[in-house]
Amino acid sequence: MLKIPSKTSSVSIESAATLSVENVSWSSAKSERMILSPISFSLEPGRILGVTGPNGAGKSTLLRLLYRYHMPNTGSVKINGVDIWSIPAREAARTVAAVLQEQPTDFALTVHEIVSLGRIPHRKGFSAAHGAHDTNIVLNTLDRLELSHFANRQFGTLSGGERQRVMVARALAQEPKLMVLDEPTNHLDIRHQLEVLELIRDLPLTIVTSLHDLNMATSVCDDVLILKDGRSLGFGTPETVFSEETISNAFRVTAKRDRLVSSNAKHLSFNL
Ligand SMILES: Nc1ncnc2c1ncn2[C@@H]1O[C@H](COP(=O)(O)OP(=O)(O)OP(=O)(O)O)[C@@H](O)[C@H]1O
Protein backbone atom coordinates (compact mmCIF):
# COMPACT_ATOMS: atom_id res chain seq x y z
CA MET A 1 0.00 0.00 0.00
CA LEU A 2 1.33 3.41 -0.91
CA LYS A 3 1.93 5.68 2.02
CA ILE A 4 1.38 9.30 1.16
CA PRO A 5 1.48 11.59 4.20
CA SER A 6 -1.83 13.34 4.76
CA LYS A 7 -2.10 16.99 3.87
CA THR A 8 -0.68 19.06 6.71
CA SER A 9 -3.15 21.35 8.43
CA SER A 10 -0.56 24.16 8.24
CA VAL A 11 -0.97 24.32 4.45
CA SER A 12 -2.33 27.72 3.51
CA ILE A 13 -5.22 27.55 1.07
CA GLU A 14 -5.52 31.31 0.62
CA SER A 15 -4.38 31.00 -2.97
CA ALA A 16 -6.67 28.05 -3.76
CA ALA A 17 -10.00 28.47 -5.54
CA THR A 18 -13.47 26.99 -5.60
CA LEU A 19 -14.05 25.06 -8.83
CA SER A 20 -17.60 24.70 -10.12
CA VAL A 21 -18.30 22.53 -13.12
CA GLU A 22 -21.92 23.05 -14.12
CA ASN A 23 -23.61 20.88 -16.73
CA VAL A 24 -20.48 20.75 -18.89
CA SER A 25 -20.49 18.62 -22.06
CA TRP A 26 -18.22 18.35 -25.09
CA SER A 27 -18.17 16.74 -28.51
CA SER A 28 -15.73 17.26 -31.33
CA ALA A 29 -16.92 19.48 -34.21
CA LYS A 30 -16.05 16.64 -36.61
CA SER A 31 -17.94 13.87 -34.84
CA GLU A 32 -21.55 13.41 -33.85
CA ARG A 33 -20.57 11.41 -30.79
CA MET A 34 -20.89 13.03 -27.36
CA ILE A 35 -17.43 12.57 -25.85
CA LEU A 36 -18.37 14.05 -22.48
CA SER A 37 -22.04 14.00 -21.45
CA PRO A 38 -23.26 16.81 -19.19
CA ILE A 39 -21.44 16.65 -15.87
CA SER A 40 -21.60 18.78 -12.73
CA PHE A 41 -19.51 18.82 -9.55
CA SER A 42 -17.77 21.32 -7.35
CA LEU A 43 -14.58 21.40 -5.33
CA GLU A 44 -13.85 23.46 -2.24
CA PRO A 45 -10.55 25.40 -2.10
CA GLY A 46 -7.56 23.15 -1.44
CA ARG A 47 -9.32 19.87 -2.31
CA ILE A 48 -7.64 17.31 -4.55
CA LEU A 49 -9.85 15.59 -7.09
CA GLY A 50 -8.69 12.38 -8.78
CA VAL A 51 -10.33 11.64 -12.14
CA THR A 52 -10.30 7.92 -12.94
CA GLY A 53 -11.88 5.59 -15.47
CA PRO A 54 -10.93 3.17 -18.24
CA ASN A 55 -9.06 4.15 -21.41
CA GLY A 56 -11.12 6.44 -23.60
CA ALA A 57 -13.56 7.32 -20.78
CA GLY A 58 -13.11 11.08 -21.26
CA LYS A 59 -10.62 11.96 -18.49
CA SER A 60 -8.26 14.05 -20.64
CA THR A 61 -11.25 15.66 -22.33
CA LEU A 62 -12.63 16.79 -18.97
CA LEU A 63 -9.21 18.15 -17.95
CA ARG A 64 -8.93 20.04 -21.28
CA LEU A 65 -12.24 21.74 -20.47
CA LEU A 66 -10.86 22.79 -17.07
CA TYR A 67 -7.68 24.39 -18.42
CA ARG A 68 -9.55 26.14 -21.25
CA TYR A 69 -8.18 24.09 -24.11
CA HIS A 70 -11.72 23.08 -25.17
CA MET A 71 -14.76 25.32 -24.89
CA PRO A 72 -17.74 23.38 -23.49
CA ASN A 73 -20.72 22.78 -25.80
CA THR A 74 -23.00 23.28 -22.82
CA GLY A 75 -22.53 24.55 -19.29
CA SER A 76 -19.65 26.38 -17.65
CA VAL A 77 -16.43 25.96 -15.72
CA LYS A 78 -16.21 28.57 -12.96
CA ILE A 79 -13.26 29.40 -10.76
CA ASN A 80 -14.26 31.41 -7.72
CA GLY A 81 -17.58 31.99 -9.46
CA VAL A 82 -16.02 33.39 -12.66
CA ASP A 83 -16.56 31.56 -15.97
CA ILE A 84 -13.09 30.87 -17.41
CA TRP A 85 -14.36 31.81 -20.89
CA SER A 86 -15.60 35.22 -19.72
CA ILE A 87 -12.05 36.48 -19.04
CA PRO A 88 -9.10 37.13 -21.38
CA ALA A 89 -6.82 34.15 -22.10
CA ARG A 90 -3.92 35.73 -20.24
CA GLU A 91 -6.03 36.19 -17.10
CA ALA A 92 -7.24 32.59 -17.39
CA ALA A 93 -3.57 31.48 -17.58
CA ARG A 94 -2.96 33.27 -14.28
CA THR A 95 -5.81 31.28 -12.78
CA VAL A 96 -5.33 27.73 -14.11
CA ALA A 97 -2.07 25.89 -14.82
CA ALA A 98 -1.75 22.49 -16.46
CA VAL A 99 0.92 19.81 -16.20
CA LEU A 100 0.50 17.62 -19.26
CA GLN A 101 2.01 14.39 -20.47
CA GLU A 102 3.56 16.13 -23.45
CA GLN A 103 6.71 17.88 -22.33
CA PRO A 104 8.71 20.68 -24.00
CA THR A 105 10.62 19.46 -27.03
CA ASP A 106 13.26 22.14 -26.66
CA PHE A 107 15.59 20.02 -24.59
CA ALA A 108 18.35 22.66 -24.85
CA LEU A 109 16.49 25.03 -22.50
CA THR A 110 17.77 25.08 -18.94
CA VAL A 111 15.60 24.20 -15.97
CA HIS A 112 15.65 27.88 -14.93
CA GLU A 113 14.45 28.95 -18.40
CA ILE A 114 11.63 26.42 -18.44
CA VAL A 115 10.36 27.40 -14.98
CA SER A 116 10.60 31.09 -16.03
CA LEU A 117 8.08 30.34 -18.82
CA GLY A 118 5.48 30.08 -16.06
CA ARG A 119 5.79 33.85 -15.52
CA ILE A 120 4.73 34.76 -19.08
CA PRO A 121 1.02 35.31 -18.24
CA HIS A 122 2.10 37.79 -15.54
CA ARG A 123 4.22 39.99 -17.85
CA LYS A 124 2.97 43.44 -18.73
CA GLY A 125 2.27 44.11 -22.43
CA PHE A 126 4.77 42.52 -24.79
CA SER A 127 7.74 42.94 -22.48
CA ALA A 128 10.07 39.96 -22.64
CA ALA A 129 12.03 41.05 -19.61
CA HIS A 130 11.70 39.54 -16.18
CA GLY A 131 11.27 41.89 -13.25
CA ALA A 132 12.87 41.27 -9.86
CA HIS A 133 9.52 39.96 -8.59
CA ASP A 134 9.37 37.30 -11.35
CA THR A 135 12.98 36.30 -10.73
CA ASN A 136 12.25 35.86 -7.02
CA ILE A 137 9.24 33.67 -7.71
CA VAL A 138 11.24 31.47 -10.09
CA LEU A 139 14.10 31.11 -7.60
CA ASN A 140 11.70 30.38 -4.72
CA THR A 141 9.87 27.79 -6.80
CA LEU A 142 13.13 26.06 -7.77
CA ASP A 143 14.10 26.04 -4.11
CA ARG A 144 10.72 24.74 -2.95
CA LEU A 145 10.84 21.82 -5.38
CA GLU A 146 14.50 21.12 -4.57
CA LEU A 147 15.53 21.97 -8.10
CA SER A 148 17.99 24.82 -7.38
CA HIS A 149 21.01 22.64 -8.03
CA PHE A 150 19.55 21.76 -11.45
CA ALA A 151 18.84 25.41 -12.41
CA ASN A 152 21.51 25.55 -15.14
CA ARG A 153 21.12 21.96 -16.36
CA GLN A 154 19.60 21.42 -19.79
CA PHE A 155 16.11 19.93 -19.52
CA GLY A 156 17.05 17.11 -21.90
CA THR A 157 19.70 15.81 -19.49
CA LEU A 158 17.22 15.18 -16.63
CA SER A 159 15.58 11.88 -15.68
CA GLY A 160 11.83 11.38 -16.18
CA GLY A 161 11.08 12.06 -12.51
CA GLU A 162 13.21 15.21 -12.47
CA ARG A 163 11.53 16.47 -15.64
CA GLN A 164 8.12 15.93 -14.10
CA ARG A 165 9.20 18.01 -11.09
CA VAL A 166 10.35 20.79 -13.44
CA MET A 167 6.96 20.78 -15.17
CA VAL A 168 5.19 21.07 -11.80
CA ALA A 169 7.60 23.92 -10.93
CA ARG A 170 6.76 25.74 -14.17
CA ALA A 171 3.04 25.42 -13.40
CA LEU A 172 3.60 26.63 -9.82
CA ALA A 173 5.61 29.65 -11.00
CA GLN A 174 2.44 30.61 -12.86
CA GLU A 175 0.88 31.18 -9.39
CA PRO A 176 -2.41 29.55 -10.41
CA LYS A 177 -5.41 29.00 -8.19
CA LEU A 178 -6.24 25.67 -9.83
CA MET A 179 -3.70 23.12 -11.04
CA VAL A 180 -4.69 20.42 -13.50
CA LEU A 181 -2.41 17.41 -13.99
CA ASP A 182 -2.84 14.71 -16.64
CA GLU A 183 -1.50 11.39 -15.34
CA PRO A 184 1.44 12.96 -13.50
CA THR A 185 2.87 9.59 -12.45
CA ASN A 186 2.96 8.08 -15.93
CA HIS A 187 6.33 6.48 -16.74
CA LEU A 188 7.70 7.11 -13.25
CA ASP A 189 9.16 4.41 -11.00
CA ILE A 190 7.59 3.84 -7.58
CA ARG A 191 9.90 6.23 -5.76
CA HIS A 192 9.31 9.05 -8.25
CA GLN A 193 5.57 8.35 -8.25
CA LEU A 194 5.55 8.78 -4.48
CA GLU A 195 7.64 11.95 -4.72
CA VAL A 196 5.32 13.54 -7.27
CA LEU A 197 2.20 12.54 -5.31
CA GLU A 198 3.62 13.86 -2.06
CA LEU A 199 4.44 17.08 -3.84
CA ILE A 200 0.88 17.37 -5.18
CA ARG A 201 -0.49 16.61 -1.74
CA ASP A 202 1.44 19.50 -0.20
CA LEU A 203 0.54 22.17 -2.76
CA PRO A 204 -1.68 24.91 -1.34
CA LEU A 205 -3.94 24.79 -4.39
CA THR A 206 -7.13 23.23 -5.63
CA ILE A 207 -6.01 20.30 -7.74
CA VAL A 208 -7.59 18.08 -10.38
CA THR A 209 -5.47 15.15 -11.52
CA SER A 210 -6.16 12.11 -13.64
CA LEU A 211 -4.78 8.90 -12.13
CA HIS A 212 -4.96 5.30 -13.34
CA ASP A 213 -3.95 3.69 -10.03
CA LEU A 214 -7.05 3.53 -7.84
CA ASN A 215 -5.11 2.74 -4.64
CA MET A 216 -2.93 5.76 -5.29
CA ALA A 217 -6.01 7.88 -5.89
CA THR A 218 -7.40 6.67 -2.54
CA SER A 219 -4.17 7.70 -0.79
CA VAL A 220 -3.83 11.13 -2.36
CA CYS A 221 -7.27 12.44 -3.26
CA ASP A 222 -9.95 14.04 -1.11
CA ASP A 223 -12.53 13.40 -3.82
CA VAL A 224 -12.64 11.11 -6.84
CA LEU A 225 -14.69 11.04 -10.03
CA ILE A 226 -15.15 7.89 -12.09
CA LEU A 227 -15.90 8.33 -15.77
CA LYS A 228 -17.04 5.69 -18.24
CA ASP A 229 -18.06 6.37 -21.86
CA GLY A 230 -18.01 10.08 -21.11
CA ARG A 231 -20.45 9.81 -18.19
CA SER A 232 -19.95 10.11 -14.45
CA LEU A 233 -20.39 6.88 -12.47
CA GLY A 234 -19.79 8.68 -9.18
CA PHE A 235 -18.27 11.72 -7.50
CA GLY A 236 -17.35 11.94 -3.82
CA THR A 237 -14.81 10.62 -1.34
CA PRO A 238 -12.87 7.50 -2.39
CA GLU A 239 -14.55 5.68 0.48
CA THR A 240 -18.02 6.22 -0.98
CA VAL A 241 -17.25 6.12 -4.72
CA PHE A 242 -14.79 3.23 -4.92
CA SER A 243 -17.24 0.44 -4.13
CA GLU A 244 -16.53 -3.04 -5.50
CA GLU A 245 -19.65 -2.77 -7.65
CA THR A 246 -18.79 0.60 -9.21
CA ILE A 247 -15.15 -0.33 -9.92
CA SER A 248 -16.16 -3.70 -11.38
CA ASN A 249 -18.70 -2.01 -13.65
CA ALA A 250 -16.38 0.84 -14.71
CA PHE A 251 -13.37 -1.31 -15.58
CA ARG A 252 -15.12 -4.59 -16.51
CA VAL A 253 -13.17 -6.54 -13.88
CA THR A 254 -14.01 -8.22 -10.61
CA ALA A 255 -12.86 -5.76 -7.97
CA LYS A 256 -12.38 -6.71 -4.34
CA ARG A 257 -11.88 -4.31 -1.46
CA ASP A 258 -9.81 -5.80 1.39
CA ARG A 259 -7.90 -4.49 4.32
CA LEU A 260 -4.14 -4.86 4.39
CA VAL A 261 -2.96 -6.93 7.34
CA SER A 262 0.02 -4.65 8.04
CA SER A 263 -1.72 -1.26 8.14
CA ASN A 264 -5.43 -2.13 8.13
CA ALA A 265 -5.73 0.29 5.20
CA LYS A 266 -8.35 -0.43 2.53
CA HIS A 267 -6.89 -1.89 -0.65
CA LEU A 268 -8.47 -2.69 -4.01
CA SER A 269 -7.44 -5.74 -6.02
CA PHE A 270 -8.71 -6.85 -9.41
CA ASN A 271 -9.33 -10.00 -11.49
CA LEU A 272 -10.60 -10.49 -15.00
N1 LIG B 1 -10.55 15.96 -30.60
C2 LIG B 1 -11.15 14.77 -30.64
N3 LIG B 1 -11.80 14.35 -31.75
C4 LIG B 1 -12.43 13.17 -31.81
N5 LIG B 1 -12.45 12.29 -30.78
C6 LIG B 1 -11.80 12.63 -29.66
C7 LIG B 1 -11.12 13.88 -29.52
N8 LIG B 1 -10.58 13.93 -28.27
C9 LIG B 1 -10.89 12.77 -27.68
N10 LIG B 1 -11.62 11.99 -28.50
C11 LIG B 1 -12.17 10.67 -28.19
O12 LIG B 1 -12.90 10.79 -27.00
C13 LIG B 1 -12.74 9.67 -26.16
C14 LIG B 1 -12.20 10.08 -24.81
O15 LIG B 1 -10.85 10.51 -24.97
P16 LIG B 1 -9.96 10.94 -23.74
O17 LIG B 1 -8.58 11.21 -24.26
O18 LIG B 1 -10.64 12.04 -23.02
O19 LIG B 1 -9.99 9.61 -22.85
P20 LIG B 1 -9.15 9.24 -21.55
O21 LIG B 1 -10.12 8.79 -20.53
O22 LIG B 1 -8.23 10.36 -21.17
O23 LIG B 1 -8.33 7.98 -22.10
P24 LIG B 1 -6.90 7.33 -21.71
O25 LIG B 1 -7.03 6.72 -20.34
O26 LIG B 1 -6.74 6.29 -22.76
O27 LIG B 1 -5.86 8.42 -21.78
C28 LIG B 1 -11.81 8.71 -26.91
O29 LIG B 1 -12.60 7.76 -27.60
C30 LIG B 1 -11.10 9.63 -27.91
O31 LIG B 1 -10.72 8.94 -29.08
pTM for the full model? 0.90
| Alpha helices per DSSP H over the chain | 59-66, 89-93, 111-116, 132-144, 160-173, 190-202, 214-220, 238-241, 244-251
Instruction: Output 245 or 270, whichever has higher pLDDT.
Output: 245
The whole-number pLDDT of residue 131 equals 82
* Ligand 1 atom 6: residue of nearest CA: 28
* Ligand 1 atom 29: residue of nearest CA: 56
Rounded distance from Cα 236 to ligand 1 centre (Å): 23
Map out the domains of the chain with their CATH numbers. Answer: 12-26+34-95+180-272 (3.40.50.300), 103-175 (no CATH)
The whole-number pLDDT of residue 218 equals 93
* Ligand 1 atom 26: residue of nearest CA: 55
The atom number, within ligand 1, closest to the CA of 182 reads 22
> Phi first, then psi: what are they for 195, rounded to 5°?
-60, -45
* Complex ipTM > 0.90: yes
pLDDT digits (tens, 9 = 90+) for 206-240: 999 999 999 999 999 999 999 999 999 999 999 99
pLDDT band at 257 (very low <50, low <70, confident <90, very high): confident
Q: Give yes or no for residue 155 having a pLDDT over 50.
A: yes
Q: Which residues contact 85 (CB under 8 A, 6 or more apart)?
A: 68, 71, 76, 77
pLDDT digits (tens, 9 = 90+) for 7-57: 443 334 467 899 999 999 999 888 778 999 999 999 999 999 999 999 999
The mean pLDDT value of the chain amounts to 88
Range among 54-68, 118-132, 199-213 rated most confident = 54-68
Q: Are strands 82-83 and 36-43 parallel, antiparallel or unpaired?
A: unpaired
- Pocket test of ligand 1: the residue of 24, 59, 180 to mutate, having most ligand atoms within 8 Å of its CB, is 59
